[in-house]
Amino acid sequence: MRNKLMKLSVLLLALMMVFAFSGCSKADEEPAGDAAEEVEETAEEESAPVMIGAEYGYAGEDPVEAEVYRYLVEVVAKDYDEADVSIPTVQIVHEDLSQENEATVWGDFWIEKYNIEGDTLKCVSGGNYPGVMHLSKNGDEYEVTSFDVVADGGEFESSAKELFGDSYEDFMKVYGDSDARQELRKITVSDYVNMNGLEVTKLQDEGWDPVDLYLQ
């Protein structure tokens, strides 16, 4: 009788070990519930493309617009003296993406350069470049291949009509709305500050009071 009890105890212990081992293996092989969702979300985050517009003040995901911002910062801004940061203001009037691997962007483009003084970005230089940018696609990205700028002075109107064509009236509405432009500029500078972690809270032009930025 004693031997039978011992054999039964050994058998029960063996069965318990088998069940315990099986349970651990299943948990290791297939995460359930929230754990499975977390694994899936992590995989999606790792495979998602990353836009590199932060250094230009661009917070969107359009590769055409990202290239417009980059061109203004890395090419146009070189016409001015060095400063701590360069930030564009981009008002797009019209885009043409109908041609394969090409894009054309009509707009009112500004570039401003700033020095960081305490908690303030102080504008030290910049300029306005209304016109048309021509871009070519290379893989998943675009590159500005040429930039036609509206002429200054007495040739402004005729030059703008030639470059903007049917979009001339729309351009003039954008070009003449300084309030909307300043608001967009404030938003873009705020995006730049937030994305790059600058410890500033204000924007200031020479001779004007500082303007509070939209901080996160």
Angle at CA of residue 108, ends 127 and 216, nearest 5°: 80
- Of all helices (H) and strands (E), which one includes residue 144? strand 141-149
pLDDT of residue 25: 36
**What digits encode the pLDDT tens for the residues 78-131?**
999 999 999 999 999 999 999 999 999 999 999 999 999 999 999 999 999 999
Q: pLDDT tens, 4-23?
A: 434 444 444 444 444 343 43
**pLDDT (mean) for 205-212:** 97
156 C-beta neighbours (distance < 10 Å), count: 13
Rounded distance between C-alpha atoms, residue 34 and residue 38, angstroms? 6
In 3D space, the residue among 164, 143, 146 whose CA is nearest the CA of residue 92 turns out to be 164
